[in-house]
Amino acid sequence: MKRLKILIIILLPISFVNGQVSYSISNYLRYGNGDRSFGNFKGNFKYFENLTDMKIFLPYNITIGGRLLYDNPPEVGLTYKGLKRRFIEYSGDELYIRAGNFSELYGRGLALNLFESRGLGFDSWMDGINLNYRKENFSFSAIAGVLEYKDSIEIKRNEDYKIYGGNFEIDPIDNFKIGLTYIYSEADFDLIPVDRKIKVNLPSLNLSINEDNFSFLFDYAYKSMSNFNDNNKSYGYGIYSSISYNTEGFGVTLDYKNYRFDLRDPFERNDITRTTRFLPFQNAPIVLKEHSYTLLTRAIHEVDFNDELGLQVEIFYTPSETTTINFNSSIASRHGNYLFDQNSFSFSRLEFINVLPSLSKKYSPYYELFGEVEQSLNEKTIVKVAAALRSKILSDEFFSGTNNHEISSIIFPFQLKHVFSDPYSAEFDYQYESVKDNFNAEQTEYSNHLFGLINVIDTKINVTFRYEFSTNRFDVSGKRYWSAIELGYRLNQNLSAAVSYGKEKGGQICSNGVCRYILPFEGLRISILGII
């Protein structure tokens, strides 16, 4: 703090004379007061979050910044009150240095991807030094610092990492890039009854080719971990690759994952305190579609980065100025299946697949088919129709697959947007989902229906109604009907506010011109966003 003050005292008079200081501030306040319920449990829940991000741009390309956070408690995550982030950085033509908190991404994130998602209560930003040096055909980056990781759901996961690493990328020829990454980490897992200390080595290689119509990417990371306490060792690796062909009006991308950072039997797999798994500073591509329809953002497949194979194809096609078509298909499964020996109370691995995912039930497969057509009927009316088919099987390896959890669903979203007379417009949404779930108590089939109406009265005011019902008598919320109203108001270009009241089932919703993921909640919510 003292050093920061000294720096500011030195720079301030110079900047003042030259008028070269500029700033940027954003403030995001969110408040909620209501109830949350899970089955028969229902409890009052209030949240209050105020996040202020500020940056001061000083002369000589120096920026200082910080985040004041008042999460008491937040809607998702852990309570925090105080200065959450602070940094000072120099950003020149070729050199970038930052001291303080930072995020970083090497390749596609198999070895290092530090990021924050407040909606998930996840934060893997580091505190330390980040240096980048770029020339025309190569770049170098180095990081050193600490990551204090606290899992907001699995509260046993309280882990401190010291991380050192670097990345070197070079373009030896036009449109071709090769990159090498090396990460070394020592970690302290604060577990009861004993702490565990580990060290991890994570080298990684990535290649990319970017021609006009064609692009290819390959990323490989190898992880070796050893335990200081008992010298146990663990090895694993991950591969991600994508290939795409794009031309005017058409684009197709195929991507592939083979994540086997920590293949474990079902006993060990469910041990959330194990030190051998994929680490919080690694975050690889999911190779699944990220949807924007509310019903498709619920009950999504949870990717297991320790043990998963997968493929995805996505096609975008615009046959005419008024029509857009999108198709996506993805498939994922585990690498192996296990046999449980009831006498020794242990698992042995039976079969194993190395390269491509399988739809066989014993590999816990997941697949999704999705298609969407958007059609402009005229200058004022747009219709969107989509269909999705999903299936997820969780293999029961304790009883040789006789008690698998099987869930499948068919979802039909429909959207109609119409501009009545400038500036009044309306959007009507209907989403239907038919679900089969053999673990859903005594009702294995049910349907969900969501209706939404967004009225934009002018660009400053909009009102959204949402109504949803389910025929599921055993929904985890204990409810069958949900309805909410939301009013969005933009005071000016810098300030907007939204107030909602009612019952929300959760998922990604779009209103007031933005989309966000919300959790189930019943009551009043207020959000105010200001940026200057």
Partner 1 sequence: MKNVIVIFLLLVSISTAQSVSELKIETLNNKKINVKEHYQKGVLLINFWASWCQPCKSELPHLNRIYEKYKNKGFSIIGINQDSPKSVAKVRSFVASQNIKFPIAIDPNFEIFNKFNGQVLPYNLLIDSNGEIVYRHTGYVPGDEKKLEEEIVELLNK
Residues 271-300 interacting with partner 1 (rule: CB under 8 A): 283-286, 289-292
Contact 38, 85 (CB under 8 A): no
Give the Cα-Cα-Cα angle 131, 133, 134 (nearest 5 degrees). Answer: 145
| Residue in 339, 459, 473, 481 binding partner 1, rule: CB under 8 A | 459
- Output the CA torsion sign for 501, 502, 506, 507: negative
Would you say 319 or 478 has its CB closer to partner 1?
319
Asked if 204 touches partner 1 (CB under 8 A), the answer is: no
Binding residue for partner 1, selected from 34, 42, 86, 483, defined by CB under 8 A: 86
Query: 387 and 411 in contact (C-beta within 8 Å)?
Result: yes
- DSSP-derived 3-state class of residue 14: helix
Under the binding rule (CB under 8 A), the answer on residue 53 touching partner 1 is yes
Residue 528 interacts with partner 1 (CB under 8 A): yes or no: no
| Interface with partner 1 in residues 16-45 (CB under 8 A) | 16, 19, 21-26, 28
- Under rule CB under 8 A, residue 329 binds partner 1: no
Residue 105 has which token pair?
Answer: 């991404």
Q: Choose the stretch contacting partner 1; rule: CB under 8 A; options: 156-164, 308-316, 475-483, 499-507.
A: 308-316
State which residue, 283 or 395, has the beta carbon closest to partner 1.
283
Report the sign of the C-alpha dihedral through residues 112, 117, 123, 125, in that order: positive
Residue type, 170: I
Residue whose CB is less far from partner 1, 284 or 388: 284
Give whichever of 423 and 478 is closer to partner 1, judged by the CB atom: 423
Residue the block writes with tokens 């919510």: 525
Contacts made by residues 215-219, CB under 8 angstroms, sequence distance 24+: 215/242, 215/243, 215/244, 215/246, 216/241, 216/242, 216/243, 216/244, 217/108, 217/241, 217/242, 217/243, 219/107, 219/108, 219/110
Q: Under a CB-based contact definition with an 8 Å cutoff, are residues 413 and 386 in contact? A: yes
Q: Candidates 33-41, 155-163, 271-279, 493-501: pick the segment binding partner 1 (CB under 8 A).
A: 493-501
Q: How far is the CB of 357 from partner 1 (least distance, A)?
A: 17
Asked if 108 interacts with partner 1 (CB under 8 A), we say: yes
The stretch among 100-108, 260-268, 345-353, 479-487 that binds partner 1 (CB under 8 A) is: 100-108
Residue number with CB closer to partner 1 (51 or 407): 51
Q: Does 210 bind partner 1 (CB under 8 A)?
A: yes
Nearer to partner 1, 26 or 201 (CB): 26
Write the CA distances from 499 to 98, 480, 485, 486, integer angstroms: 38, 24, 8, 6
Considering the complex, state which of residue 106 and residue 446 has its C-beta at the smaller distance from partner 1. Answer: 106
Q: In the range 334-393, which residues lie near partner 1 by CB under 8 A?
A: none
- Interaction of residue 489 with partner 1, rule CB under 8 A: no
Whichever of 191 and 497 has its CB closer to partner 1, that residue is 497
Output the CA torsion 300→305→310→314 (10° steps). 60
Restricting to residues 148-187, which ones interact with partner 1 according to CB under 8 A?
Answer: 175
Q: Pick left, alpha or beta for residue 196 (phi over 0 → left; psi -120 to 50 → alpha; otherwise beta).
A: beta
Binding mask 237-276 for partner 1 (x = CB under 8 A): -----x-x-xxxxxxxx-x---------------------
Phi, psi at 174, each rounded to 5°: -55, 140
